Every structure is written in C-alpha cells, then in structure tokens.
Amino acid sequence: MKTDLLIIGAGPFGLTMASHAKHLGIDFIIAGKAMEFWKNNMPQGMYLRSACDWHLDSENKSTIENYLATLNLVPADAEPISRDFYLSYVEWFQQQKKIDPLPVYINRLDYAGDHHFNAYTNRGEIIAADNVVIAVGFKYFMHIPPEFENILPAGSFSHTCDVADMTAMRGKRCLILGGRQSAFEWAALLNEAGASSVHISHRHKSPSFTAADWSWVNSLVDNMADNPGWFRNLSQEEKDAVSDKLWAEGRLKVEPWLEPRIMKDDIKLWPRTSLTACEKLTTGELNVSFDNDTKIIVDHIILATGYKVILSQIPFFTNGNILSELATNNGFPVLDEHFQTNLPGLFFTSMPAGQDFGPFFGFTISVRTSAKLIGKELIRNLKMV
C-alpha cells in the first residue's frame, strides 16, 4: 500500500487527525483499533473529568453538543460524561466523518530517507508513506516506579490500565498505590464490583473532593493553533507555573461525585504513607508494611502510578531503524512548531508532544490544535499549495 500520510493510532488524536486530513483533501491511511485504549484499558463505569466542550472536530461541526442535540439532550444531561457515552460520541463522529481505521498494528517502522517511510503491519502488509503521524497514546508508557518494582513480588501487582474488568477482583482485598483521580475512581469501582476491602496509600495528604476547573485550558490550547511556539518560548519558570496549575487541578483535586462512593467502611485511606516491604505468604496473601509501622494483609496490589513517555517501549521502534536517528531531549522527541521531528515527514502528537507543546497534550482538548498544525505542515510537505 502507498499513501501520502500514515496515521498510527485510532484514539482521539489519530481520529481527529484523520478527519482533518480528509477535510484538507490529503490521502491517508489510519492504522489501529478505534478507541482501543478507552474500550480495553478504561473501566466500564468510569467518568471523564473533561466536559462536553472537549470534542474532536477541527471544523467544530461534529461536536459533543451537536451529538447530544441528535438525542434531544443538552450537556447538563450528560455531564459528568461516562466512558460509554464518550465512546458512543466517538463512534458517531467516525460515522459523520466516514473515518474507517485499518484495524492492524504496525509492528515495525523504518525511515528510508526524506519523506519515505515503510511500515509493516501484523498482517504482513507493507505501507509506504511519505508522512507518518504517531498517535499511539498512553498504553506503551504505563509507569511502574522502580521503588515498587523492586519491592513487590512478581505477579502480586497490576497497573490500573490492566485492571479494567473489576469483576476479577470480586471478594479480594486490594491495595491501590497512588493518590490521584484514578486511584480513587478505581477504588470506588472495585468496591462496587464486590472487592471485599480496598486500601489506598499515597505519600502525600489525600486530595480534596473538589471539582477541577479546566476552563482556562481551552483558550490556551486553541490559541496555539495560531501561535504554536507559545509554550516552548516561555521561560522555564513560566512553563513550570503552567504545569503546576494543571497539576493542581488534575492531581490535587478528586471529583466531588466520588466522595460518597469512597467514604465507606470497606475503603480505607492511608495518606502520608510509603510502602516499605511486601512479603508473599505461603497462602498467596500479601503482607504489606508501611513506613508508619503498620501492616496490612491484601490479595492484590494495583498501581495507579500513571504514564511516562519512554519511546523505546513502542514496539515498532524497537524493530525498526528510527530510534537511532531520532533527536530526543529528556526522552521526548524534539518537535518543531508543527509537531515534526528531525526526520522530515515524521510527526508525533499526544503525550510525547507534551514537552514542546505543554502538558495539555496528554488530554483530548489538544486533538484539534494538533491536527490543524500538523495539517498545515503536511500541505507544505505535499506541495499542495
């Protein structure tokens, strides 16, 4: 197969990129399973923290509000948005835009010179592409802090992204390590799915049950479509201030609708604690020690420890020749103002773009700005103007 543009990944970033490429008349192939991470690695019953204004359409037509209107609903009827509602919106968006991803995995990606890439699929196809946008999202970047990996016996723990089906924990005593929204939401869902008890341990004090305010993020990200250098041109101090503000909303607060679901006898919070040891008993139970001299017995540990960009964990890089040629900084790809790497025609978006474009690029608010900026460069690359 040959294409002007191969988009690798069919989550929110890849689908919006595909829709924008179609709008611009660019020939493309989008590879990946539509919304696979949301379907397989986020639990049923999960609610989004973002609201209806974070839609996928760079043309502002197939918005979440317009989808709701087809159902005779308004945002207040749908918020907080459930994972299932969001998936139904994205399915509608795909239908509106006629975006039909090729449900394959790219196993290997090779750079064959300026604007020449060869991608190998798990079905044995080879896709020759002049440009490639990588939008593979979070899964490859699940973060297991070394201090936990060193202490926890093999097989005793899972990352939240591998515990989307809570029924597997029915009747079990679970310990969640982490102190952010996902730790609290997984605790509520485990409890509701019949876990016999849930403990949540984190080093800091427990976050407050207060609604996060993301309203200030929208204009910053939307304006970057015309001023893509805004974040990179801030001083380090200013960048830190922006990241701290996002951190404060996202990580120091837990949504208030979780409070009644958490404040229960069989959910116990362990603020300001660190794990110091974990012994697997002959019964298979885990004897866990904290630095406040307490011990608890649990059956399974769940790490709500987030995601961290490590490009070498993307399998199609390990198998291909790109990584040795790619310019990186702190483990992130170095991107120009149009998300392009030092290899002409190779673009990254989503979480790996966070260092150059700001921490918002781990969230769906950024899908439209990203698609618009990449689209402008693609048009230049393809000499369409």
Number of shown-chain residues binding ligand FAD (CB under 6 A): 31
**From candidates 117, 316, 339, 347, binder to ligand FAD by CB under 6 A:** 316
Site string for ligand FAD, 272-311 (x = CB under 6 A): ----------------------------------------
- Looking at the Cβ atoms of 51 and 168, the one nearer to ligand FAD is 51
Minimum distance from CB of 145 to ligand FAD (Å)? 16
Strand 328-329 and strand 300-303: pairing? Answer: unpaired
Whole-number Å distance between alpha carbons of 133 and 13: 10
Q: Minimum distance between the CB of residue 46 and ligand FAD, rounded to whole angstroms?
A: 7
CA distance 145 to 143: 6
Among positions 117-146, residues that touch ligand FAD (CB under 6 A) are 135-139
Identified binder of ligand FAD from the candidate list 6, 13, 173, 359, rule CB under 6 A: 13
Q: Tell me whether residue 246 or residue 288 sits nearer to ligand FAD (CB atom).
A: 246
Which residue's CB atom is positioned nearest to ligand FAD? 137
Burial readout 198-208 (b: 16 or more C-beta within 10 A, e: otherwise): bbbbbeeebbe
Q: How far is the CB of 374 from ligand FAD (least distance, A)?
A: 13
Q: Which residue has the tokens 């208030």?
A: 256
Kindly tell me which residue out of 3, 4, 12, 188 binds ligand FAD, with binding defined by CB under 6 A. Answer: 12
- The mark string for 51-80 relative to ligand FAD (x by CB under 6 A, - otherwise) is ---x--------------------------
Considering the complex, what minimum distance in angstroms separates the CB of residue 234 from ligand FAD? Answer: 22
Backbone angles phi, psi at 238, to 5 degrees: -70, -40
Q: Of the candidates 87, 92, 96, 105, which one interacts with ligand FAD according to CB under 6 A?
A: 105
Tell which positions 318-377 bind ligand FAD, by CB under 6 A.
350, 362-364
- Is 304:42 a contact under the CB 8 Å cutoff? no
How far is CA 307 from its chain centroid?
8
Apex CA 88: angle with CA 139 and CA 72, to 5°? 150
Of 3, 19, 50, 191, which one interacts with ligand FAD (CB under 6 A)? 50
Residue 182 in contact with ligand FAD, rule: CB under 6 A: yes
Tokens encoding 219 = 């204009």
Helix pair 215-223, 236-251: axis angle to 10 deg: 140
Using CB under 6 A as the binding rule, whether residue 94 contacts ligand FAD is answered as no
Main-chain dihedrals φ then ψ at residue 109, nearest 5 degrees: -130, 125
Nearer to ligand FAD, 207 or 278 (CB): 207
Taking CA atoms, 172 is separated from 121, 127, 176, 285, 299, in Å, by 40, 46, 12, 10, 6
Q: Judged by CB under 6 A, does residue 23 bind ligand FAD? A: no
Q: Which of 5, 6, 10, 224 binds ligand FAD (CB under 6 A)?
A: 10
Residue 83 Cβ vs ligand FAD, minimum distance, rounded to whole Å:
8
Q: In the chain, which residue ranges form alpha helices assigned H by DSSP?
A: 12-24, 36-40, 64-70, 75-78, 83-97, 146-151, 181-192, 215-223, 236-251, 259-262, 315-318, 354-357, 367-381
Given 106, 129, 164, 188, the residue binding ligand FAD (CB under 6 A): 106
- Counted residue by residue, the chain has a size of 385
Q: Is the peptide bond before 228 cis (omega within 30 degrees of 0)?
A: no
Per-residue burial over 155-183, b if 16 or more Cβ lie within 10 Å, else e, is ebbbbbbebbebeebeeebbbbbbbbbbb
Smallest separation (angstroms) from ligand FAD to the CB of 48: 3
Which residue lies nearer to ligand FAD by CB, 24 or 102? 102
Residue pointed to by tokens 């949504």: 255
Measured from the CB atom, the residue of 169 and 278 that comes closer to ligand FAD is 169
Site for ligand FAD, rule CB under 6 A? 8-14, 31-33, 36-38, 42, 48-50, 54, 105-106, 135-139, 182, 316, 350, 362-364
